[in-house]
Amino acid sequence: MKRRDFINKAGVGAIAAGGVLVAPSVVHAKAQFKWKMVTSWPKNFPGLGVGANQLAQMINEMSGGRIKVKVYGANELVPAFEVFDAVSKGTAQMGHSGAYYWKGKNEATQFFSSVPFGLTAQEMNAWLYYGGGMGLWRELYEPFNLIPAAAGNSGVQMAGWFNREIKTVDDLKGLKMRIPGLGGEVLRRAGGTTVNMPGGELFTSLQSGALDATEWVGPYNDLAFGFYKVAKYYYYPGWHEPGSTMEAMINKPAFNALPADLQSIVLAACKAANMDMLSDYMAKNNQALDTLVNKHGVKLMPLPDDVLRKLKQLSEEVVLEVANKDPLAKKIYTSFNQFRAQVSNWSTLSEQAFLKARALV
């Protein structure tokens, strides 16, 4: 008995009669996985960068340290706009970015970030999780060796910072503006010149006059970048990004190498990060807006209705053209558009009607 107890405690298996060593029973330690996450955001940037950090932390903690994710900000491992390729090739196992940056890969990627006059954050989540959107997103990314997941949302954004007033549609003509995705194409058709550049370059570009205007996110992020120092007018609403989803993209072979429980943990962490970021923006945006207006004297301006009507008309044209690029884009557009028509009725009856009632004096 003593001999058997010793062997069991030692964990080296059993010794057969006659003292012959037989195959040991080895207790395997659970495998650990070290992942890199590359992002399109400046390191530790409020909202976006912090959201990426929190996603990594949740994966680390929820897995009990079995997955350890190290986060790299834009340009630390790869440039901001090379995140997609880095994860696709396996240079990093995970990325955090916005799907509209990858329209050069397939223009339909833009449906999974934000569509002008499209879905709010709540509506976007409903489409992704319960309206078929997530399945279509995975189908779109399949050829690139990627598994996508929603991993953040900024809510309704601002229309942006301008160095001149926008009174009519004609004021958009010749305007040099940083605005990505479908919104950028809409502005171009309205007569503007669109530029896409990482967030870290926007302040100096406005300051030097290389840009006349820029959109970024909203007060929370815009205050952090100090745009109030180099632009006079702050316009709303964010017609181009009514509910911008941030994505986590996962290298498919890396994901498939995980056991089932860790795969579930990664996806659950993405879903938690999606809600967490939206809550963060909702809590911080008004605080930052108060500082911008009352401390820094920012001129808060609404875009005129006539300008919004023209932008909406152009938006419908641009989105339909993207839909007609290929059969998968058409399938995504049809799903998105049908869901928007369906959910808009309820949003008008519930959210919009309530907000109008709450504003009564």
DSSP state of 237: -
> Does residue 9 register a pLDDT over 90?
no
Q: 235 with 158: CB under 8 angstroms?
A: yes
> Does residue 180 register a pLDDT over 70?
yes
> Does residue 304 register a pLDDT over 60?
yes
Q: What is the pTM of this model?
A: 0.88
> Does residue 14 register a pLDDT over 90?
no
DSSP state of 351: I
Looking at residue 21, its pLDDT comes to 35
Task: Collapse the DSSP code of 324 into the 3-class scheme (helix H, G, I; strand E, B; otherwise coil) and give the result.
Answer: coil
d(CA 33, CA 260): 14
> Does residue 112 register a pLDDT over 60?
yes
In b/e form, how buried is each residue of 172-199, taking b as 16+ CB within 10 angstroms?
A: beebbbbbbbbbbbbbbbbebebbeebb
Helix axes 121-130, 133-141, angle to 10 degrees: 80
Q: Which among 322, 309, 316 is positioned nearest to 341, based on CA atoms?
A: 316
> Does residue 276 register a pLDDT over 50?
yes
d(CA 324, CA 330): 6
- Backbone angles phi and psi of 58, in degrees to 5: -65, -40
Which tokens sit at 274? 């999606």
Looking at residue 22, its pLDDT comes to 36
DSSP state of 349: I
First to last CA, the chain: 85
Looking at residue 80, its pLDDT comes to 95
Segment 192-218, tens digit of pLDDT: 999 888 888 999 999 999 999 999 999
Taking residues 102-115, what's their average pLDDT? 96
Q: 202 with 157: CB under 8 angstroms?
A: no
Taking residues 183-200, what's their average pLDDT? 92
Which tokens sit at 264? 């579930």
Q: How many CA atoms lie within 13 A of 66 on its CB side?
A: 15
Radius of gyration of the chain (CA): 25
What torsion do the CA atoms of 127, 130, 134, 135 make, to the nearest 10 degrees?
-120
Residue 184 pLDDT class (50, 70, 90 cuts): very high
Segment 66-99, tens digit of pLDDT: 999 999 999 999 999 999 999 999 999 999 999 9
DSSP state of 350: I
> Does residue 342 register a pLDDT over 60?
yes
Looking at residue 25, its pLDDT comes to 34
Mean pLDDT of the residues in the chain: 92
Element holding 211 (H helix, E strand): none
Domains contained in the chain, CATH given: 33-156+243-283 (3.40.190.170), 160-241+296-326 (3.40.190.10)
Taking residues 161-186, what's their average pLDDT? 96
Q: 248 with 38: CB under 8 angstroms?
A: no
Which tokens sit at 110? 């833009």
Bridge-based pairing of strands 299-302 and 233-236 is: parallel
Describe the strand order of the beta sheet including 146-153 as a list of residue ranges: 67-72, 33-39, 94-97, 245-251, 146-153
Segment 224-273, tens digit of pLDDT: 999 999 999 999 999 999 999 999 999 999 999 999 999 999 999 999 99
Q: 222 with 47: CB under 8 angstroms?
A: no
Rounded to whole angstroms, what are the CA distances from 72 to 97, 204, 216? 12, 23, 21
Q: 154 with 244: CB under 8 angstroms?
A: yes
Q: 39 with 96: CB under 8 angstroms?
A: yes
